[in-house]
A and B are shown apart, each in its own frame.
Chain A
Amino acid sequence: MLVLLPIPFFPNELADSVAVERQDTLAKKKPKKNSRQVFHGFSVHLDAASPLVNYLIDKSTLSFEACVDVDLLHRFFPIAEVGFGYADKLNDDNIHYKVKAPFYRLGMNFNILRMKSKDGESKIFTGSYPYIGLRYGFSLFKYGLDGVIVNDDYWGVSRPMEVNLKYLYAGWAELVAGVRVNMVKGFTMGWSVRLGVLSHTSKSSLKTQLWYIPGFGKNNTVNFMFNYTFGYTFNYDKKQTK
Protein backbone atom coordinates (compact mmCIF):
# COMPACT_ATOMS: atom_id res chain seq x y z
CA MET A 1 0.00 0.00 0.00
CA LEU A 2 2.78 2.44 0.88
CA VAL A 3 4.36 1.88 -2.48
CA LEU A 4 1.18 2.94 -4.21
CA LEU A 5 0.99 6.25 -2.36
CA PRO A 6 1.59 9.22 -4.71
CA ILE A 7 4.82 11.12 -4.10
CA PRO A 8 3.38 14.71 -3.80
CA PHE A 9 1.70 13.79 -0.51
CA PHE A 10 5.03 14.07 1.42
CA PRO A 11 7.30 16.24 -0.73
CA ASN A 12 9.73 17.51 1.96
CA GLU A 13 10.24 14.23 3.80
CA LEU A 14 10.66 12.33 0.56
CA ALA A 15 13.23 14.79 -0.80
CA ASP A 16 15.25 14.49 2.41
CA SER A 17 15.18 10.70 2.36
CA VAL A 18 16.18 10.59 -1.31
CA ALA A 19 19.13 12.91 -0.59
CA VAL A 20 20.28 10.69 2.26
CA GLU A 21 19.99 7.58 0.10
CA ARG A 22 22.03 9.23 -2.67
CA GLN A 23 24.76 10.12 -0.21
CA ASP A 24 24.78 6.53 1.03
CA THR A 25 25.02 5.07 -2.45
CA LEU A 26 27.75 7.50 -3.45
CA ALA A 27 29.69 6.54 -0.35
CA LYS A 28 29.28 2.88 -1.22
CA LYS A 29 30.41 3.42 -4.80
CA LYS A 30 33.65 5.09 -3.72
CA PRO A 31 36.42 2.56 -4.21
CA LYS A 32 38.02 1.56 -0.96
CA LYS A 33 41.74 1.61 -0.85
CA ASN A 34 41.94 -1.78 0.83
CA SER A 35 39.07 -3.47 -0.99
CA ARG A 36 39.96 -7.00 -2.05
CA GLN A 37 39.26 -8.45 -5.44
CA VAL A 38 37.01 -11.43 -4.98
CA PHE A 39 36.89 -12.98 -8.45
CA HIS A 40 40.32 -13.74 -9.87
CA GLY A 41 39.47 -16.02 -12.77
CA PHE A 42 38.49 -19.54 -13.60
CA SER A 43 40.13 -22.73 -14.77
CA VAL A 44 39.07 -25.44 -17.16
CA HIS A 45 40.72 -28.80 -16.67
CA LEU A 46 40.64 -32.25 -18.22
CA ASP A 47 41.46 -35.36 -16.25
CA ALA A 48 44.05 -37.68 -17.76
CA ALA A 49 44.20 -40.17 -14.91
CA SER A 50 40.65 -41.53 -14.96
CA PRO A 51 40.86 -43.29 -18.32
CA LEU A 52 44.40 -44.49 -17.63
CA VAL A 53 43.82 -45.75 -14.10
CA ASN A 54 40.56 -47.40 -15.07
CA TYR A 55 42.28 -49.11 -17.96
CA LEU A 56 45.17 -50.30 -15.79
CA ILE A 57 43.00 -51.62 -12.98
CA ASP A 58 40.24 -53.17 -15.02
CA LYS A 59 39.95 -52.97 -18.78
CA SER A 60 36.21 -53.38 -18.55
CA THR A 61 35.72 -49.87 -17.12
CA LEU A 62 36.30 -46.46 -18.59
CA SER A 63 35.82 -42.96 -17.25
CA PHE A 64 36.36 -39.43 -18.55
CA GLU A 65 35.92 -36.21 -16.67
CA ALA A 66 36.52 -32.48 -16.79
CA CYS A 67 36.12 -29.68 -14.31
CA VAL A 68 35.65 -25.93 -14.05
CA ASP A 69 36.67 -24.04 -10.94
CA VAL A 70 36.44 -20.41 -9.97
CA ASP A 71 39.11 -18.53 -8.05
CA LEU A 72 37.59 -16.50 -5.23
CA LEU A 73 40.06 -14.53 -3.11
CA HIS A 74 42.75 -17.05 -4.12
CA ARG A 75 41.45 -19.05 -1.18
CA PHE A 76 38.14 -20.58 -2.18
CA PHE A 77 37.66 -22.49 -5.42
CA PRO A 78 34.07 -23.57 -6.06
CA ILE A 79 34.24 -26.40 -8.55
CA ALA A 80 31.91 -28.28 -10.87
CA GLU A 81 32.99 -31.59 -12.36
CA VAL A 82 31.25 -33.53 -15.05
CA GLY A 83 32.16 -36.85 -16.58
CA PHE A 84 31.06 -40.06 -18.17
CA GLY A 85 31.52 -43.54 -16.75
CA TYR A 86 31.27 -46.83 -18.58
CA ALA A 87 31.54 -50.46 -17.51
CA ASP A 88 31.03 -53.68 -19.45
CA LYS A 89 32.03 -56.59 -17.23
CA LEU A 90 31.69 -60.33 -17.70
CA ASN A 91 32.79 -62.25 -14.63
CA ASP A 92 33.84 -65.89 -14.18
CA ASP A 93 30.25 -66.96 -13.55
CA ASN A 94 29.22 -65.36 -16.86
CA ILE A 95 27.29 -62.60 -15.15
CA HIS A 96 27.32 -59.63 -17.49
CA TYR A 97 27.07 -56.15 -15.98
CA LYS A 98 26.75 -53.10 -18.19
CA VAL A 99 26.34 -49.42 -17.37
CA LYS A 100 27.10 -46.13 -19.10
CA ALA A 101 26.01 -42.78 -17.77
CA PRO A 102 27.16 -39.24 -17.02
CA PHE A 103 27.98 -38.13 -13.51
CA TYR A 104 28.26 -34.79 -11.80
CA ARG A 105 30.15 -33.45 -8.82
CA LEU A 106 29.86 -30.13 -7.04
CA GLY A 107 32.07 -28.84 -4.29
CA MET A 108 34.80 -26.53 -3.20
CA ASN A 109 38.59 -26.54 -2.91
CA PHE A 110 40.35 -24.61 -0.19
CA ASN A 111 43.84 -23.26 -0.79
CA ILE A 112 45.84 -24.24 2.31
CA LEU A 113 48.87 -22.18 1.36
CA ARG A 114 49.75 -19.43 3.84
CA MET A 115 48.92 -16.21 1.98
CA LYS A 116 50.73 -13.82 4.30
CA SER A 117 54.36 -13.64 5.30
CA LYS A 118 55.54 -13.47 8.91
CA ASP A 119 55.39 -9.69 8.97
CA GLY A 120 51.79 -9.74 7.81
CA GLU A 121 52.32 -8.73 4.18
CA SER A 122 50.30 -10.46 1.49
CA LYS A 123 52.25 -12.82 -0.71
CA ILE A 124 51.90 -12.82 -4.46
CA PHE A 125 49.64 -15.65 -5.60
CA THR A 126 51.50 -17.61 -8.25
CA GLY A 127 48.64 -19.86 -9.26
CA SER A 128 50.28 -22.84 -7.58
CA TYR A 129 48.78 -24.10 -4.38
CA PRO A 130 48.00 -27.21 -2.37
CA TYR A 131 44.40 -27.71 -1.44
CA ILE A 132 41.85 -29.79 0.34
CA GLY A 133 38.28 -30.01 -0.80
CA LEU A 134 34.87 -31.54 -0.52
CA ARG A 135 32.57 -32.87 -3.21
CA TYR A 136 29.10 -34.23 -3.60
CA GLY A 137 28.81 -36.64 -6.51
CA PHE A 138 25.66 -37.82 -8.21
CA SER A 139 24.81 -40.13 -11.08
CA LEU A 140 21.53 -41.14 -12.65
CA PHE A 141 21.82 -44.31 -14.67
CA LYS A 142 20.31 -47.59 -15.74
CA TYR A 143 22.25 -50.81 -15.69
CA GLY A 144 21.97 -54.00 -17.62
CA LEU A 145 22.46 -57.38 -16.04
CA ASP A 146 22.18 -60.75 -17.68
CA GLY A 147 23.62 -64.20 -17.32
CA VAL A 148 22.46 -64.54 -13.72
CA ILE A 149 21.63 -68.19 -13.14
CA VAL A 150 19.65 -69.62 -10.25
CA ASN A 151 21.42 -72.83 -9.37
CA ASP A 152 19.53 -75.35 -7.28
CA ASP A 153 22.36 -77.63 -6.26
CA TYR A 154 20.36 -80.14 -4.25
CA TRP A 155 17.50 -80.54 -6.70
CA GLY A 156 19.90 -80.48 -9.63
CA VAL A 157 18.19 -77.84 -11.74
CA SER A 158 18.89 -74.29 -12.78
CA ARG A 159 17.13 -71.46 -14.54
CA PRO A 160 18.05 -67.97 -15.70
CA MET A 161 17.10 -65.10 -13.47
CA GLU A 162 15.67 -61.97 -14.99
CA VAL A 163 16.94 -58.64 -13.70
CA ASN A 164 15.10 -55.77 -15.26
CA LEU A 165 16.81 -52.62 -16.40
CA LYS A 166 16.00 -49.87 -13.97
CA TYR A 167 16.55 -46.16 -13.70
CA LEU A 168 18.54 -45.63 -10.54
CA TYR A 169 20.59 -43.01 -8.82
CA ALA A 170 23.53 -42.97 -6.48
CA GLY A 171 25.07 -40.16 -4.47
CA TRP A 172 28.36 -39.98 -2.69
CA ALA A 173 30.62 -37.63 -0.79
CA GLU A 174 34.31 -37.11 -1.43
CA LEU A 175 37.21 -35.73 0.55
CA VAL A 176 39.84 -34.36 -1.82
CA ALA A 177 43.47 -33.39 -1.35
CA GLY A 178 45.81 -32.28 -4.10
CA VAL A 179 48.00 -29.64 -5.69
CA ARG A 180 47.58 -27.26 -8.60
CA VAL A 181 50.63 -25.88 -10.37
CA ASN A 182 50.89 -22.94 -12.74
CA MET A 183 53.19 -24.29 -15.45
CA VAL A 184 53.54 -21.50 -18.00
CA LYS A 185 51.36 -18.68 -19.32
CA GLY A 186 48.17 -19.85 -17.64
CA PHE A 187 48.60 -23.52 -18.41
CA THR A 188 48.05 -25.38 -15.18
CA MET A 189 48.14 -28.97 -14.08
CA GLY A 190 47.78 -30.88 -10.88
CA TRP A 191 46.80 -34.05 -9.14
CA SER A 192 44.40 -35.00 -6.43
CA VAL A 193 43.50 -38.03 -4.40
CA ARG A 194 39.97 -38.64 -3.30
CA LEU A 195 38.30 -40.66 -0.64
CA GLY A 196 34.74 -41.34 -1.70
CA VAL A 197 31.99 -42.62 0.54
CA LEU A 198 28.82 -43.94 -1.04
CA SER A 199 26.05 -42.20 0.86
CA HIS A 200 22.79 -43.16 -0.78
CA THR A 201 21.26 -45.11 -3.61
CA SER A 202 17.69 -45.34 -4.84
CA LYS A 203 17.41 -48.69 -3.03
CA SER A 204 19.55 -49.74 -0.08
CA SER A 205 20.22 -53.18 -1.59
CA LEU A 206 21.87 -51.47 -4.58
CA LYS A 207 24.95 -50.69 -2.52
CA THR A 208 26.05 -54.28 -3.04
CA GLN A 209 24.22 -55.00 -6.29
CA LEU A 210 25.89 -52.33 -8.39
CA TRP A 211 29.31 -53.46 -9.50
CA TYR A 212 30.26 -50.08 -10.93
CA ILE A 213 28.80 -46.63 -10.38
CA PRO A 214 29.73 -43.93 -12.92
CA GLY A 215 31.86 -41.31 -11.19
CA PHE A 216 32.27 -43.35 -8.03
CA GLY A 217 33.96 -46.41 -9.45
CA LYS A 218 33.73 -50.02 -8.51
CA ASN A 219 31.14 -50.41 -5.89
CA ASN A 220 32.30 -50.33 -2.37
CA THR A 221 31.14 -48.31 0.55
CA VAL A 222 34.51 -46.51 0.45
CA ASN A 223 36.59 -45.83 -2.67
CA PHE A 224 39.93 -44.24 -3.44
CA MET A 225 40.26 -42.23 -6.61
CA PHE A 226 43.07 -40.41 -8.34
CA ASN A 227 42.99 -37.51 -10.79
CA TYR A 228 45.74 -35.94 -12.85
CA THR A 229 44.45 -32.85 -14.54
CA PHE A 230 45.77 -30.35 -17.02
CA GLY A 231 44.13 -27.26 -18.41
CA TYR A 232 44.11 -23.52 -18.67
CA THR A 233 43.46 -20.80 -16.11
CA PHE A 234 41.78 -17.62 -17.32
CA ASN A 235 43.17 -14.94 -15.09
CA TYR A 236 41.10 -11.88 -14.29
CA ASP A 237 43.50 -10.25 -11.86
CA LYS A 238 43.25 -6.46 -12.03
CA LYS A 239 47.01 -6.03 -12.04
CA GLN A 240 47.39 -8.15 -15.09
CA THR A 241 44.47 -6.72 -17.04
CA LYS A 242 45.68 -3.14 -16.68
Chain B
Amino acid sequence: MLLRKNENRLTKLLNIFEMRKLLILVVFVPLLIACNNDTECCQERYVAMGIKLFQTKFDADEEAYVVSDFTPDSITIYGVDNDSILYYKKQNNVFDLPLRKTETISRFVLYANGYYDTITVFHENTDNYLSMECGCVVFANIKAVIPTNNRIDSAIIRIPEVVNVSATHVELYYKAD
Protein backbone atom coordinates (compact mmCIF):
# COMPACT_ATOMS: atom_id res chain seq x y z
CA MET B 1 0.00 0.00 0.00
CA LEU B 2 2.73 2.39 1.04
CA LEU B 3 4.73 1.55 -2.06
CA ARG B 4 1.73 2.23 -4.32
CA LYS B 5 1.03 5.49 -2.50
CA ASN B 6 4.63 6.63 -3.07
CA GLU B 7 4.38 5.60 -6.70
CA ASN B 8 1.27 7.72 -7.15
CA ARG B 9 3.02 10.67 -5.54
CA LEU B 10 5.95 10.23 -7.89
CA THR B 11 3.60 10.06 -10.84
CA LYS B 12 1.92 13.27 -9.77
CA LEU B 13 5.29 14.92 -9.32
CA LEU B 14 6.45 13.87 -12.76
CA ASN B 15 3.19 15.00 -14.33
CA ILE B 16 3.96 18.48 -13.14
CA PHE B 17 6.69 18.60 -15.73
CA GLU B 18 4.48 17.54 -18.55
CA MET B 19 3.54 19.38 -21.68
CA ARG B 20 3.65 23.12 -21.93
CA LYS B 21 4.10 23.63 -18.23
CA LEU B 22 7.76 23.01 -18.94
CA LEU B 23 7.73 26.29 -20.79
CA ILE B 24 7.32 28.12 -17.50
CA LEU B 25 10.40 26.39 -16.16
CA VAL B 26 12.35 27.28 -19.26
CA VAL B 27 11.44 30.93 -19.14
CA PHE B 28 11.68 31.56 -15.42
CA VAL B 29 14.47 29.29 -14.39
CA PRO B 30 16.96 31.13 -12.22
CA LEU B 31 20.52 31.26 -13.36
CA LEU B 32 22.67 29.08 -11.20
CA ILE B 33 26.03 30.65 -11.15
CA ALA B 34 28.76 29.08 -9.16
CA CYS B 35 31.17 31.44 -7.48
CA ASN B 36 34.68 30.22 -7.37
CA ASN B 37 37.03 31.90 -5.00
CA ASP B 38 40.04 32.40 -7.21
CA THR B 39 41.70 35.22 -5.31
CA GLU B 40 42.95 33.47 -2.19
CA CYS B 41 45.82 31.08 -1.94
CA CYS B 42 45.21 28.09 0.28
CA GLN B 43 48.57 26.42 -0.17
CA GLU B 44 51.71 26.71 1.95
CA ARG B 45 54.26 28.86 0.18
CA TYR B 46 56.99 29.34 2.75
CA VAL B 47 59.90 26.99 2.22
CA ALA B 48 62.96 27.08 4.48
CA MET B 49 65.74 24.81 5.63
CA GLY B 50 65.15 23.56 9.16
CA ILE B 51 68.21 23.22 11.41
CA LYS B 52 68.58 21.78 14.90
CA LEU B 53 71.49 22.29 17.29
CA PHE B 54 73.15 19.47 19.16
CA GLN B 55 76.17 19.22 21.44
CA THR B 56 78.54 16.35 21.91
CA LYS B 57 79.75 15.90 25.48
CA PHE B 58 82.01 13.37 27.14
CA ASP B 59 80.14 11.53 29.85
CA ALA B 60 82.66 10.50 32.49
CA ASP B 61 80.28 7.99 34.06
CA GLU B 62 79.50 6.30 30.76
CA GLU B 63 83.04 6.93 29.52
CA ALA B 64 81.60 7.81 26.10
CA TYR B 65 80.54 10.81 24.05
CA VAL B 66 76.86 11.59 24.44
CA VAL B 67 74.82 13.71 22.04
CA SER B 68 72.19 16.00 23.49
CA ASP B 69 70.12 18.97 22.36
CA PHE B 70 72.02 22.25 22.54
CA THR B 71 70.14 25.42 23.42
CA PRO B 72 72.51 28.38 23.59
CA ASP B 73 71.88 31.10 26.17
CA SER B 74 71.65 33.52 23.26
CA ILE B 75 71.85 32.98 19.54
CA THR B 76 71.55 35.44 16.67
CA ILE B 77 71.27 34.27 13.06
CA TYR B 78 71.42 36.24 9.84
CA GLY B 79 72.37 35.74 6.21
CA VAL B 80 75.79 36.75 4.94
CA ASP B 81 75.60 40.02 2.99
CA ASN B 82 72.15 40.60 4.42
CA ASP B 83 71.29 43.28 6.97
CA SER B 84 68.08 41.62 7.99
CA ILE B 85 68.38 39.46 11.11
CA LEU B 86 66.46 36.21 11.10
CA TYR B 87 66.70 35.43 14.83
CA TYR B 88 67.93 37.87 17.46
CA LYS B 89 69.20 36.72 20.85
CA LYS B 90 66.95 33.72 20.93
CA GLN B 91 67.13 30.87 23.37
CA ASN B 92 66.16 28.01 21.16
CA ASN B 93 67.69 25.09 19.29
CA VAL B 94 65.40 24.81 16.23
CA PHE B 95 65.46 27.37 13.41
CA ASP B 96 64.19 27.81 9.84
CA LEU B 97 66.67 29.38 7.42
CA PRO B 98 65.46 30.61 4.00
CA LEU B 99 67.78 29.44 1.25
CA ARG B 100 68.49 31.70 -1.69
CA LYS B 101 65.93 31.20 -4.47
CA THR B 102 68.02 32.86 -7.16
CA GLU B 103 71.42 31.33 -6.34
CA THR B 104 72.70 27.94 -5.34
CA ILE B 105 74.91 28.93 -2.41
CA SER B 106 73.41 30.32 0.80
CA ARG B 107 75.52 31.43 3.77
CA PHE B 108 74.35 32.15 7.30
CA VAL B 109 76.10 33.55 10.37
CA LEU B 110 75.31 31.97 13.71
CA TYR B 111 76.40 34.00 16.74
CA ALA B 112 75.90 31.70 19.71
CA ASN B 113 77.14 32.35 23.27
CA GLY B 114 79.65 34.92 22.06
CA TYR B 115 81.14 32.87 19.25
CA TYR B 116 80.69 33.41 15.52
CA ASP B 117 80.29 30.57 13.09
CA THR B 118 79.24 30.53 9.43
CA ILE B 119 77.53 27.72 7.60
CA THR B 120 77.68 27.50 3.81
CA VAL B 121 74.89 25.55 2.15
CA PHE B 122 75.27 24.28 -1.39
CA HIS B 123 71.94 23.51 -2.96
CA GLU B 124 70.08 23.08 -6.22
CA ASN B 125 66.82 24.93 -6.77
CA THR B 126 63.69 23.75 -8.52
CA ASP B 127 60.92 26.14 -9.52
CA ASN B 128 57.40 24.97 -8.90
CA TYR B 129 54.43 26.86 -10.24
CA LEU B 130 51.43 26.32 -7.95
CA SER B 131 48.57 28.36 -9.36
CA MET B 132 47.55 31.85 -10.41
CA GLU B 133 46.44 32.59 -6.86
CA CYS B 134 49.55 31.23 -5.16
CA GLY B 135 52.26 32.00 -7.70
CA CYS B 136 55.25 29.76 -7.32
CA VAL B 137 57.58 28.23 -4.75
CA VAL B 138 61.19 27.18 -5.05
CA PHE B 139 62.19 23.82 -3.64
CA ALA B 140 65.82 23.09 -2.82
CA ASN B 141 67.98 20.02 -2.73
CA ILE B 142 70.88 20.33 -0.30
CA LYS B 143 74.13 19.05 -1.69
CA ALA B 144 76.51 19.98 1.11
CA VAL B 145 76.70 21.97 4.32
CA ILE B 146 80.11 23.26 5.36
CA PRO B 147 80.45 25.03 8.72
CA THR B 148 83.35 27.00 10.16
CA ASN B 149 84.76 25.32 13.21
CA ASN B 150 84.91 27.97 15.92
CA ARG B 151 82.23 26.27 18.00
CA ILE B 152 80.55 24.04 15.45
CA ASP B 153 82.10 20.63 15.16
CA SER B 154 80.17 19.22 12.20
CA ALA B 155 77.00 19.33 10.16
CA ILE B 156 74.89 16.42 8.98
CA ILE B 157 72.26 16.55 6.26
CA ARG B 158 69.27 14.55 7.45
CA ILE B 159 66.71 15.46 4.76
CA PRO B 160 68.22 16.95 1.59
CA GLU B 161 64.88 17.87 -0.02
CA VAL B 162 63.67 21.21 1.29
CA VAL B 163 60.00 21.40 0.35
CA ASN B 164 58.45 22.67 3.56
CA VAL B 165 59.30 24.16 6.94
CA SER B 166 58.18 21.35 9.20
CA ALA B 167 61.31 19.26 9.11
CA THR B 168 64.86 19.20 10.43
CA HIS B 169 66.88 19.12 7.26
CA VAL B 170 70.29 19.74 8.80
CA GLU B 171 71.74 18.96 12.23
CA LEU B 172 74.55 21.13 13.59
CA TYR B 173 76.82 19.62 16.26
CA TYR B 174 78.51 22.08 18.61
CA LYS B 175 81.69 21.37 20.50
CA ALA B 176 81.50 20.84 24.23
CA ASP B 177 82.09 23.90 26.38
Contacts and interface: CB of A to CB of B under 8 A. Distances in A.
Contacts of A156: 82, 84
Nearest to B138: A150
A172 interface: no
Interface stretch (B20-28, B67-75, B116-124): B20-28
Nearest to A225: B34
Given A95-B135, A155-B82, A191 B100 contact: no
A226 B31 contact: yes
Contacts of B11: 114, 118
A211 B19 contact: no
A130 B39 CA distance: 37
A193 B131 contact: no
B27 to A, nearest CB: 9
A218 interface: yes
Contacts of B63: none
B98 A161 contact: no
B146 interface: no
Given A155-B82, A181-B23, A113 B36 contact: no
A9 interface: no
B3 interface: no
Contacts of A224: 32-34
A220 interface: yes
B102 A158 contact: yes
A203 B167 CA distance: 26
B6 interface: no
Contacts of A129: 17, 22
Given A161-B127, A161-B136, A189-B26, A113 B102 contact: no
Given A128-B22, A226-B32, A91 B132 contact: yes
Nearest to B23: A181
Given A149-B135, A152-B102, A158-B102, A181 B129 contact: no
A119 B132 CA distance: 60
B136 A191 contact: no
Of the listed residues A156, A179, A223, the one surrounded by the most CB atoms of chain B closer than 10 A to its CB is: A179
A129 B25 CA distance: 11
Contact of B33 (A151, A191, A208, A226): A226
B75 to A, nearest CB: 18
Interface in A194-217: 205, 208-209, 211
A37 B43 CA distance: 56
8 contacts: A118-B11, A148-B129, A155-B101, A156-B84, A157-B102, A158-B102, A159-B101, A208-B130
Given A150-B102, A157-B101, 11 more contacts: A57-B33, A93-B132, A113-B17, A114-B14, A128-B22, A149-B135, A150-B138, A154-B82, A208-B131, A211-B131, A224-B34
Interface of B: 11, 14-15, 17-20, 22-23, 25-26, 29, 31-34, 36, 38-39, 43, 79, 82, 84, 86, 98, 100-102, 127-136, 138
